[in-house]
């Protein structure tokens, strides 16, 4: 039974799915706004919010944990820029805006970005 198991699979095995989410999170941090499918954006949102919350701790352990997920360049942005920008905010660091469907296959698209 799949009770409380609501993660999307995206037709991928676990390690490929994990790499996809890590890559999307890295792109979101580096570019501050990305366009992807609605399902991927919805799956990325809690993952990205947890990264920002961890970055707000400002510890070496938190920095290393973030680096293991999204790499050193994006970690510097999370800890030094985004965490300081959202230090007084408890949550809700990202916003999902629905956009047009993709022409090729009709997938629902969305733009995920950081709230300013």
Q: Could you list the mean pLDDT of each consecutive 10-residue stretch along the chain, which spans 116 residues?
A: 86 97 98 98 97 97 98 98 96 98 97 96
The predicted pLDDT at position 109 comes to 98
pLDDT at 5 (0 to 100): 82
Please give the pLDDT value at position 6: 80
- What pLDDT is recorded for position 110? 98
- pTM for the complete prediction? 0.92
Report how far residue 71's alpha carbon sits from residue 44's, in angstroms, rounded to the nearest whole number: 17
**Ordered structural domains, the chain, with CATH:** 35-114 (3.90.1030.10)
Please give the pLDDT value at position 2: 79
| pLDDT value at residue 1 | 86
The two structure tokens encoding residue 78? 């999370």
Write out the two tokens for 24.
């999307």
pLDDT value at residue 96: 98
* pLDDT for the residue numbered 81: 96
Q: What angle do CA 83, 86, 90 make, to 5 degrees?
A: 115
**What is the reported pLDDT for 7?**
85
b/e sequence 66-103, b meaning 16+ C-beta within 10 Å: bbebbbeebbebbbeebbeebeeeeeebbeeeeeeeee
Give the Cα separation of 67 and 34 in Å (integer).
20
């Amino acid at each position: 039974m799949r009770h409380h198991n609501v993660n999307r699979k995206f037709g991928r095995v676990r390690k490929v799915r994990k790499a996809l989410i890590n890559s999307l999170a890295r792109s979101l941090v580096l570019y501050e706004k990305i366009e992807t499918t609605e399902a991927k954006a919805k799956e990325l949102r809690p993952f990205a919010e947890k990264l920002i919350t961890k970055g707000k701790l400002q510890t070496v352990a938190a920095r290393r944990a973030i680096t293991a997920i999204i790499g050193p360049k994006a970690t510097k942005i999370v800890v030094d820029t985004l965490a300081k920008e959202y230090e007084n905010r408890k949550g809700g660091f990202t916003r999902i805006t629905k956009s047009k469907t993709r022409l090729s296959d009709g997938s629902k698209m969305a733009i995920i970005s950081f709230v300013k």
